[in-house]
Amino acid sequence: MSRITRRATLAAALTLPVAARAQTFNRPIRIIVPFGTGGVADLTARAVAQNIQPILGQPVVVENRPGAGGIVAAQALMQAPADGHTLMVASNGTAISASLFRNMPLDPPKDLAPIVIMGAFPIAIVVKPDSPIKDVADLVARMKAEPGKLNIGTITRGSTQNLSAELFKIRTGTQAETVVFPQTPQLVTALLRGDVDAAFEITGPIFGQIQSGAIRVLGVTSAERAANLPNVPTLQQQGVPDYDVSSWNALVARAGTPAEAITAINRAVNEALVKPELRNALTAVGVEPRGGTPAQMGALLAADTARWAEVIQKAGIAQQG
């Protein structure tokens, strides 16, 4: 979706009818985040929560429930009443978990009511500054010339970054060893040490190192160039076909939540995302504000669930849990 189309969608969403907010919500609203504090999802949720409180007329509290690939947060959501007062941050991880985990407490398409996409953030392919790999085409050529010899680093098996690397190999018809690290600092250390030849990571945690020249970007995985890296071409622009991956964070509720509550929250988030202070807060952590309708959020979740199921199967990643 182009930025012009996204702005038009955002404007349209603000015209959606909404029930009287005072009647829709009568106590604090809780947003469950499936990650720890300080990460992109947490920062996004807190920035949005702060800005929708005055619109909805109730406190909006962020509650971190990390662990088990989002299962802990999903359990908390499913145990709460489906009345719109308990929400959850959904992400690429929600779509991935449907195929990655055997014992999920919910079926995302069946059990979740989509509300709105808060923001998206691209993944970058990075190398160390003095790497002989000059661009994505060069990386592909080297992977084809020496099948299985290059090492590609990512965090956490089954993460969006990890599956993006696997999708890259599928789309380019190449082979490489994917090396997994527990967190971004270890990944960057391995990259600079030469233990991995390239790495896939979201731009937020490594943006300072990109700006300082400590690491070099070959390309971004989104269909459009990243707002914070406008001079870096996308993978599609560098000849990788049918490749469009962005991490995203959205709000969902339990299926069965009243339509007026879904509409009220959707409208509040879209209204807040127009404010410069919220847009600036999100872009500061590498997040591009999105917004839109519940239907668009649901379509994104369904499309990513299908895509990552295919990648998990083709990459031979074993189910967990």
CATH number at residue 142: 3.40.190.10
State whether 143 and 68 are in the same domain.
no
Domain that holds residue 218: 122-238
Residues 37, 94 within the same domain: yes
Q: CA nearest 243: which of 165, 179, 157?
A: 165
Q: Pick the last residue of a domain from 238, 271, 295.
A: 238
Task: Provide the number of structural domains found in the chain.
Answer: 2
Q: Which of 198, 214, 238 is the last residue of a domain?
A: 238
**118 burial type by CB count under 10 A (0-12 exposed, 13-18 middle, 19+ buried):** buried
206 with 260, same domain: the answer is: no
Last residue of a domain, one of 238, 263, 287: 238
Residues 266 and 297 in one domain: yes
- Residue-by-residue pLDDT tens, the chain, 321 positions: 555 455 555 554 454 444 445 457 989 999 999 988 988 899 999 999 999 999 999 999 999 998 877 888 999 999 999 999 999 999 988 888 888 887 777 788 889 999 999 999 889 999 999 999 999 999 999 999 999 999 999 998 888 999 999 999 999 999 999 999 999 999 999 999 999 999 999 998 899 999 999 999 999 999 999 988 999 999 999 999 889 998 999 999 999 999 999 999 999 999 999 999 999 999 888 899 999 999 999 999 999 998 999 899 988 888 776
- Residues 265 and 201 placed together within one structural domain of the fold: no
Residue 178 lies in a domain: yes
Domain check: are 127 and 107 in the same one?
no
- The verdict on 21 and 107 lying in the same domain is yes
CATH code, 309: 3.40.190.150
In-domain check, residue 320: no
Task: Tell me: do 38 and 95 sit in the same domain.
Answer: yes
Instruction: Tell me how far apart the alpha carbons of residues 259 and 289 are, in angstroms, rounded to a whole number.
Output: 24
Q: Are residues 116 and 259 in the same domain?
A: yes
**73 and 21 together in one domain:** yes
DSSP E strands in 6-159: the ranges are 29-33, 60-64, 86-91, 112-127, 151-155
Same-domain pairing of 205 and 160 = yes
